[in-house]
Amino acid sequence: MRGLLLTLSLFNPFTFLPLTAQVYLDESKPLEQRVEDALQRMTLDEKIAIIHAQSKFSAPGVKRLGIPDMWTDDGPHGVRPDVLWDEWEQAGQTNDSCVAFPALTCLAATWNPQLARLYGESLGEEALYRGKAMILGPGVNINRTPLNGRNFEYMGEDPWLASRMVVPYVQGLQSKGVAACVKHYALNNDEEYRHQVNVIVSDRALREIYLPAFEAAVREGGAWAIMGAYNLYKNQHNCHNSILLNQILKQEWGFDGVVVSDWGGTHDMDEAVRNGLDMEFGTWTDGLTMGATNAYDNYYLAECYKKAILEGRYTTRELDEKVRRVLRLHFRTTMNRQRPYGFLCSESHYEAARKIAGEGIVLLKNEQHVLPIQQNAKVLVVGENAIKMMTVGGGSSSLKVQREVLPLDGLLSQLPSMGGAGGGSYARGYVGDTVQSYNGVTVGRSIAESRTSAELRAEAVEKAKQADVVIVFGGLNKSDFQDCEGHDRRQYELPYEQNELVEALAKVNKNIVFVNISGNAVAMPWIDKVPAVVQGWFLGSEAGNALADVLTGRVNPSGKLPFTWFRQLSDVGAHSLNTYPGTWREGHDVIDEEYKEDIFVGYRWADLSAKRKKEMLTAHRSPLTAYRSTPLFPFGYGLSYTTFDVIVNGHEGGANVSVTVTVKNTGKVAGAETVQLYVGPNKPDNSRPVKELKAFQKVWLEPGESKTITLTASRQSLSVWDEAAGQWTFVPGTYRAYIGTSSNTNSSFKLNLL
Ligand code: BGC
């Protein structure tokens, strides 16, 4: 008997091939050899098991072969607390409180790829400690409408900026042996009806606007995983969309990693088998309430798939392909013996979070040098967002943090003369959402409030009369219908009567600083009545410290907007053309959303001539008539406490666009300016955007210092998608290059490109 067992174990029980050295365990062997070796040792059951979940956030390994379970977790701003095996409820662990890093809009606003690398590395270390092999992030869906509840999780409106920032994030994370799962691929640009939206978009807009950041994450970043989106494209759900997954991602881009379904995004076995899905998660996200003893066996890529193979409806060709990808993921992560050890909540992670936050905060307006705040100034802080935790809520990116410094506390620690919160230096001003617990994470401090909004306003106004400066912390929050997954915002306006509050305060105090906490632009009808506005994002654990750093001048702001800040919703292409949220298809559970603004998203739309906009409004029967409203703040814009001169020294055409620029700090404090190169046709004719971002560089300068830099845009990056040929084409000719410190620049010159 012993002899028989021994003989059997030398053979693969499934294929009966002789198995000798365990190549799959030998890290000196090429990856593909290890994959094939492991694959041929696996039984059908083992193969089926590893391609679908066994719990909310894990898929089994192969115990017999020593391949561990694969644990994953959200993402993208910190490692989500553990949930119960089959339910969304908290597991109640005591060792899963993490550092929250700033939301990805803030990271994008740093315009600093080195910080994206640091972000990825720090997050990777936290994930390792928590035993997670794959982080569900980063997100790179393009900001097409400021109503999208999840824009805060993404990197703005511009494909070039998002690409430059996502690549180092992915590389940093994966350098720790933790996979990035880039999401949500693709065209998941709003949340409303996210499971039913069928996006209709031109091939050109798909390629030029919506896919580049994914492509960069895969081709340059080498992402090991990607998550299919909930919505549909060409009437097929994106978690098993043959064009997006098989054709573009796997064939064209050569992606060798794993396609993971979004949780509950799988809808059909045959499509899941054939159209490129590799790992199924979250189907029937209500877990075992299916009534089955193990709902996971009922997944589309589970028992029914196995049965179909045994009945001969499929060969194991597709299955083996999926398994190879999952094995690669294991060798890169769980079975990578070179992985470092992880650590949670280290000081270096807090430092990284504070640095990223400090560099991402955007100074939007600063008249009469209201900012930075002087140490001896009598400061009044107003607003719920000064005392509200923002690392909880918002959906799957909600975190349980070891600590979160609130804006009021951050200011109190840096401006001790303000006095305690009870000492007259704080007024609530408005009430938003007082629920301070989310998905089992309860915030210690209560922010309950029983006074009416009129009473709160009156109190704030009275206190404001005595103050030198009033800092209002307002904006959105992470509650439903705000910056939150699952729904979009219902309005562009600020909620909770904040406009009334700001107007009332501005009447009694001329030094109002409005700090907008959000992941999206909001309407600011009172903009001319307040001298200072700061975009404060969702900044994570170090929010209060980072905001105080900037407000007091300890950090000189250098953030730049990663999206165009339109004055009103109807100024946004998608809304002026009345394309949002789409049109329900009669008799079907599908809502068609046609991206009628095409490639003209964000500043590309703002730049379009009034004539062309009018033509588009008419062609698409928009109820709007033409308008000519310039954005409140352009893409790429942000001020500093110092001033800079940007002088173009020379430029060259030929094979590439190459521009040499000297930047000088002409002010009194050290700071950073981000020089941006945009390129467009010499004579804009609406066939392509007036200009598009093609290179940028952030330059740090001491007072009086200058530096000379060269910005280069390759021919490749200037190509357009030729729909007829189905490929990128470069059109030689005369172009116009623009140098600026935002997209609103007139400094331009002609160049010939061959
Ligand atoms: C979200 C994903 C998230 C997943 C797991 C889904 O609802 O769309 O972004 O990673 O849940 O929490």
Tell me how far the alpha carbon of residue 228 lies from the centroid of ligand 1, in angstroms: 10
Q: For residues 692 and 603, give the distance between their C-alpha atoms in angstroms, rounded to a whole number.
A: 9
Closest-CA residue to 542 (of 718, 301, 359): 359
Closest-CA residue to 738 (of 728, 727, 730, 749): 749
pLDDT of residue 290: 57
pLDDT reading at 518 higher than 50:
yes
Tell me how far the alpha carbon of residue 109 lies from the centroid of ligand 1, in angstroms: 24
pLDDT of residue 375: 87
Tell me how far the alpha carbon of residue 485 lies from the centroid of ligand 1, in angstroms: 9
pLDDT reading at 402 higher than 60:
yes
* Close Cβ partners of 435 (under 8 Å, ≥ 6 residues apart): 479
Q: Find the range with the poorest average confidence among 239-243, 346-350, 459-463, 609-613.
A: 609-613
Q: For residues 158 and 142, give the distance between their C-alpha atoms in angstroms, rounded to a whole number.
A: 7
pLDDT reading at 326 higher than 80:
yes
Q: For residues 91 and 85, give the distance between their C-alpha atoms in angstroms, rounded to a whole number.
A: 8
pLDDT of residue 438: 84
Atom of ligand 1 nearest to the CA of 181: 10
Closest-CA residue to 740 (of 629, 638, 605, 665): 638
pLDDT of residue 10: 44
Tell me how far the alpha carbon of residue 114 lies from the centroid of ligand 1, in angstroms: 27
Tell me the pLDDT band of 419, cut-offs 50, 70 and 90. low
Phi and psi at residue 745, to the nearest 5°: -140, 145
Is residue 306 within 8 A of residue 48, CB to CB? The reply is yes
Tell me how far the alpha carbon of residue 486 lies from the centroid of ligand 1, in angstroms: 10
Is residue 670 within 8 A of residue 707, CB to CB? The reply is no
Q: Which pLDDT tens digit goes with each residue over 559-581?
A: 999 999 999 999 999 999 999 99
pLDDT of residue 400: 96
pLDDT of residue 445: 81
Tell me how far the alpha carbon of residue 598 lies from the centroid of ligand 1, in angstroms: 27
- Pairing outcome for strands 426-427 and 236-237: unpaired
Is residue 134 within 8 A of residue 333, CB to CB? The reply is yes
pLDDT of residue 19: 58
pLDDT of residue 293: 66
pLDDT of residue 623: 80
Q: Which pLDDT tens digit goes with each residue over 285-297?
A: 655 555 566 789 9
Atom of ligand 1 nearest to the CA of 74: 10
Residue nearest to atom 9 of ligand 1 (CA): 396
pLDDT of residue 324: 99
**Mutational pocket test of ligand 1: of 74, 87, 184, the residue with most ligand atoms within 8 Å of the beta carbon:** 74
Q: Which residue has the higher pLDDT, 257 or 686?
A: 257
Is residue 715 within 8 A of residue 703, CB to CB? The reply is no
Residue 207 per-residue DSSP state = I
Tell me how far the alpha carbon of residue 529 lies from the centroid of ligand 1, in angstroms: 41
Report residue 594 as tokens. 């046609």
pLDDT of residue 420: 47
Is residue 362 within 8 A of residue 560, CB to CB? The reply is yes
Helix (H, G, I), strand (E, B) or coil at 257: coil
Residue 438 amino acid letter: Y
What is the edge-to-edge ordering of all strands in the sheet holding 134-136?
Answer: 58-59, 70-74, 134-136, 179-185, 225-228, 258-260
What is the edge-to-edge ordering of all strands in the sheet holding 657-665?
Answer: 644-652, 657-665, 706-713
Which residue is listed with tokens 């807009």?
Answer: 205
Q: Which pLDDT tens digit goes with each residue over 578-608?
A: 999 999 999 999 999 999 999 999 999 999 9
Tell me the pLDDT band of 11, cut-offs 50, 70 and 90. very low
Atom of ligand 1 nearest to the CA of 153: 9
Closest-CA residue to 381 (of 422, 416, 428): 428
Residue 632 amino acid letter: L
Closest-CA residue to 397 (of 106, 53, 110): 106
Considering the chain, what percentage of its residues have pLDDT values greater than 90? 88
Residue nearest to atom 11 of ligand 1 (CA): 263
Q: For residues 332 and 105, give the distance between their C-alpha atoms in angstroms, rounded to a whole number.
A: 28
pLDDT reading at 508 higher than 70:
yes
pLDDT of residue 746: 85
Closest-CA residue to 164 (of 687, 710, 677): 677
Which residue is listed with tokens 């607390």?
Answer: 81
**Mutational pocket test of ligand 1: of 87, 263, 283, 439, the residue with most ligand atoms within 8 Å of the beta carbon:** 263
Atom of ligand 1 nearest to the CA of 75: 10
Closest-CA residue to 234 (of 584, 720, 593): 593
Instruction: Please list every protein residue whose CB sits less than 6 Å from any atom of ligand 1.
Output: 74-75, 136, 183, 262-263, 396
pLDDT of residue 7: 40
Which residue is listed with tokens 């690549």?
Answer: 167
Alpha-carbon distances of 339 from 234, 500, 683, rounded to whole Å: 41, 54, 53
Residue nearest to atom 6 of ligand 1 (CA): 263
Residue nearest to atom 7 of ligand 1 (CA): 263
pLDDT reading at 628 higher than 80:
no
Tell me how far the alpha carbon of residue 94 lies from the centroid of ligand 1, in angstroms: 23
pLDDT reading at 14 higher than 70:
no
Phi and psi at residue 390, to the nearest 5°: -115, 5
Helix (H, G, I), strand (E, B) or coil at 723: coil
Q: For residues 681 and 691, give the distance between their C-alpha atoms in angstroms, rounded to a whole number.
A: 7
pLDDT of residue 3: 41
pLDDT of residue 89: 87
**Mutational pocket test of ligand 1: of 79, 90, 189, 485, the residue with most ligand atoms within 8 Å of the beta carbon:** 485
Q: Exactly one of 73, 74, 190, 262 is catalytic; name it.
A: 262
Report residue 382 as tokens. 């107003």
Tell me how far the alpha carbon of residue 172 lies from the centroid of ligand 1, in angstroms: 22
Cα-Cα-Cα-Cα dihedral of 73, 155, 639, 354, to 10°? 10
Is residue 501 within 8 A of residue 474, CB to CB? The reply is yes
Mean pLDDT of 693-708: 98
Is residue 267 within 8 A of residue 237, CB to CB? The reply is yes
Is residue 38 within 8 A of residue 27, CB to CB? The reply is no
The angle that helices 159-174 and 113-129 make with each other, rounded to 10 degrees, is 40
Alpha-carbon distances of 90 from 85, 153, 288, 345, 685, rounded to whole Å: 10, 22, 16, 20, 55
pLDDT of residue 642: 98
Q: Which residue has the higher pLDDT, 4 or 23?
A: 23
Residue nearest to atom 4 of ligand 1 (CA): 263
Tell me whether residue 424 is exposed, middle or buried, using C-beta atoms within 10 angstroms of its C-beta: 0 to 12, 13 to 18, 19 or more. middle
b/e per residue 163-190 (b: at least 16 CB within 10 A)? bbbbbbbbbbbbebbbbbbbbbbbbbbb
Report residue 153 as tokens. 């999780």
pLDDT of residue 122: 98
Q: Per this entry, what is the length of the chain?
A: 754
pLDDT of residue 626: 61
Alpha-carbon distances of 375 from 382, 414, 469, 531, 594, rounded to whole Å: 18, 8, 11, 19, 53
The angle that helices 453-466 and 498-508 make with each other, rounded to 10 degrees, is 30
Tell me the pLDDT band of 270, cut-offs 50, 70 and 90. very high
Residue 442 amino acid letter: T
Q: Which pLDDT tens digit goes with each residue over 162-183?
A: 999 999 999 999 999 999 999 9
What integer best gives the mean pLDDT of the chain? 94
Residue nearest to atom 8 of ligand 1 (CA): 262
Q: What is the CA radius of gyration of the chain?
A: 27
Tell me how far the alpha carbon of residue 396 lies from the centroid of ligand 1, in angstroms: 5
The vertex-236 CA angle with 578 and 239, nearest 5°, equals 105
262 is an active site residue: yes
Residue nearest to atom 3 of ligand 1 (CA): 396
Secondary structure of 510-556 as H, E, C letters: CCEEEEEECCCCCCCCCHHHCCEEEECCCCHHHHHHHHHHHHCCCCC
pLDDT of residue 589: 93
Mean pLDDT of 607-634: 87
Q: How many CA atoms lie within 13 A of 403 on its CB side?
A: 14
Q: For residues 58 and 51, give the distance between their C-alpha atoms in angstroms, rounded to a whole number.
A: 11
* Close Cβ partners of 242 (under 8 Å, ≥ 6 residues apart): 236, 271, 274, 275, 276
Atom of ligand 1 nearest to the CA of 57: 5
Tell me how far the alpha carbon of residue 136 lies from the centroid of ligand 1, in angstroms: 8
Tell me how far the alpha carbon of residue 202 lies from the centroid of ligand 1, in angstroms: 27
Q: For residues 358 and 356, give the distance between their C-alpha atoms in angstroms, rounded to a whole number.
A: 5
